[in-house]
Every structure is written in C-alpha cells, then in structure tokens.
Amino acid sequence: MKSAKAKALTFVAAAIIAVCAIEGCKARKPGGATPGGVAVEKIKIGFIVKQPEEPWFQYEWQFAEAASKDLGFELIKIGAGDGEKVMAAIDNLAANRTQGFIICTPDVRLGPAIAAKAKANGLKLLSVDDQFVGADGKFMTDVHYLGISARKIGQNVGKTLWEEMKKRGWKMEETAVMMMTFDELDTARERTEGAFESLVEAGFPKEKIYKAPQKTSDQPGAIDAANALLTKHPEVKRWLVAGMNDSAVLGAVRALEGQGFNAENTLAIGINGTDCIFEFEKEKPTGFFGSMLLAPKRHGYETAEMMFKWIKDGTEPPKDTRTVGMLITRDTYKQILAEQGLLKDKK
C-alpha cells in the first residue's frame, strides 16, 4: 500500500500532467491538429446583433451559421439591444474562450468601449452594418468593417420613386415626399440624404420633401414619426415614401393606411428587401411598392468567413468592404430572392 505521502505525490504529478495538457492546447493555434492527430480547441466566433427581431439580422445569423457548418467553427449568436447587454455579451464570449466576434452595435458611439473590451480580452473584432464612431465623432476606420454603399443605395431609391411617379402620371402639385429619417445613425442618414439628392436632382421640389424623424429605428418608431408628419400635411393627396430600411418605410405605409391612403396614392420603397416579403405576399398590393434588396449573405457568411480565416491563418480582412442593393417589387421578388438563396421555403 502507498503511504499518504506517496499518494499525495502521485496526485500532484497527475495534476501537473493534466494542466500541461490543457496549457499545451492553449498555446497551439486554434482549429488545427497536433502532429499526432489529437484534435485541438475548435474555433469559436461570436455574432452580436442590435435587433434580433428584424428579419435582416435573422438572415445574417442564418448565413453565418451556414459558414460555421461549411468551415467547421462554432457560432455563438447574441442579441444585444443596449450598451450594457453588449458589454455583458463580450464578457460572455471571452469566458467561453471565443477568439473573435462580429457585431452590429445598438449604438455606434459604443465603438471605443467595444474596441477596448475586445482588445483587453484578446478578441478579434469585425463590425458589420453600422460603423463605429469615435469620441471625436469620426468613423473608427481602424476597426474592420463591412457595410452597405448607403448613399448610392439611397440615391437609387430616390431615382426609382421619381421614375415610378412619372409612370403613374401623378401631378407634382398633389404629391409630397415623406422622408423617414434616423439621423443619429450615419448609415441611415446617408441613405435618406441619397434619396433626397436624387429626387431633387430629378426635379422634385425640395420644399415638398418632408422629414419624419424617428425616435427609434423600428416600425413603431416609424409609425409615430409618420403620424406626427401626417397631421401637419392634410393637403397632400399622394405620398412618396423613403427611409433607412423596410421597417421605417413599412411603418409609414401603416400610418398612411390609418389615414385612408392605399396603393393608389402611396408609393413607398424600402431598403433591406428581407423585412418586406410578407408585404409582397399579401393578396392585394399595398403602398409598399418595392425595396432595395441588400446582400445578407455577404453580411453574414462573408463576415464569418473573414473572421474564421483571420483567427485560423492570420489573414487580416479588408478594413472596409461595401455591398450593393437591387430593386425588388411584388412582381420580381420571388425570382430575385430565389436567385439570391433567400427564399426561406426554398432552402
């Protein structure tokens, strides 16, 4: 029988071997294998989004998940609607030994705090959709980012509204523009400024482009903003509507319907293309004419792939990547969504 001392020594030796084995894994690059073929720690990537209830973000997650299956990493999805939740989410990811994360922040001014926390925890960071803003009010261009060509897409909305208005023969004196704005978010401001610019350039009178500032960037926020504007302009017979995304424009359409407007006198174009599918599926057309379909696959799959390669091989992603949009309408959405791999029932 072993003495108590010998037993204690055996225990200590076993403990040292176990600790060495764990530390040995830590020191190796994640996602690889030892020469002997022993599997090492799997790569883990976080994906934090500000509005998990928005179909746009559900698509981003869905495509990031597809990347995790194709490339063999673990994806941790977290919804975080405010700063406190974001900070807790990052702590959580660090505690789970995640090596990096992608984030669409609920507030771009959290940028410096998010970047500092990621750095302190040794986590790689990629921002998506909403670009971080520093304490000086400027974009944090040192943080890797993938977003949309916001102004260009907005200009396309304005151009399409003008062309459709002309096609319908709507009289300018009876028509006004309801511009759903959310200026505290740069990507939103650029979209609506782009729509404004192209409408004015085409010949729409500036003074009849009315802003409806949203307090929150969701549909209820848009409904409130549109209702407030509508009470001020009972003289307008026909409305063109633009905004930062589908939720903004759908909110306006709902508010207009509340005042008796319909597809005959509302012409609204959203952005995202992912959050308006149910609207196109309605039996009768509504005032929601179309949307600029973005590329959720690139925002979800590509960002996850960039992060994976960065962690695994040290391949740094480009600092700034921009994606484009294309018009979908009630007549074309089925075909275009299918081509883009976006029809849920076709998966």
AA letter at 120: A
Task: Count how many Cα atoms sit within 13 Å of the Cα of residue 225 in the half-sphere of its side chain.
Answer: 28
Residue 303 binds ligand FCA, judged by CB under 6 A:
no
Task: Count how many Cα atoms sit within 13 Å of the Cα of residue 25 in the half-sphere of its side chain.
Answer: 14
Q: Return the residue of 155, 272, 291, 321 that touches ligand FCA, per CB under 6 A.
A: 272
Residue 291 binds ligand FCA, judged by CB under 6 A:
no
The footprint of ligand FCA on this chain (CB under 6 A) covers a number of residues equal to: 12
| Residue 233: other Cβ atoms inside 10 A | 12
Binding mask 53-92 for ligand FCA (x = CB under 6 A): -x-x------------------------------------
Residue 217 binds ligand FCA, judged by CB under 6 A:
yes
Q: Which is nearer to ligand FCA, 94 or 148 (CB)?
A: 148
Residue 114 binds ligand FCA, judged by CB under 6 A:
no
Q: Which is nearer to ligand FCA, 99 or 130 (CB)?
A: 130
Q: How far is the CB of 294 from ligand FCA (least distance, A)?
A: 6
Residue 279 binds ligand FCA, judged by CB under 6 A:
no
Residue 148 binds ligand FCA, judged by CB under 6 A:
yes
What value, to the nearest 5°, has the Cα angle with vertex 153 and ends 272 and 278?
20
Q: Give residues with Cβ within 8 angstroms of 163, minimum separation 6.
A: none
Residue 193 binds ligand FCA, judged by CB under 6 A:
no
Rounded to an integer, what distance in angstroms lies between the CA atom of residue 14 and that of residue 21?
11
Residue 129 binds ligand FCA, judged by CB under 6 A:
yes
Contact 161, 203 (CB under 8 A): no
What beta strand segments (E) does 5-63 contain? 44-49
Contact 127, 294 (CB under 8 A): no
- Residues of this chain that interact with ligand FCA (CB under 6 A) are 54, 56, 104, 129-130, 148, 187, 217, 245, 271-272, 294
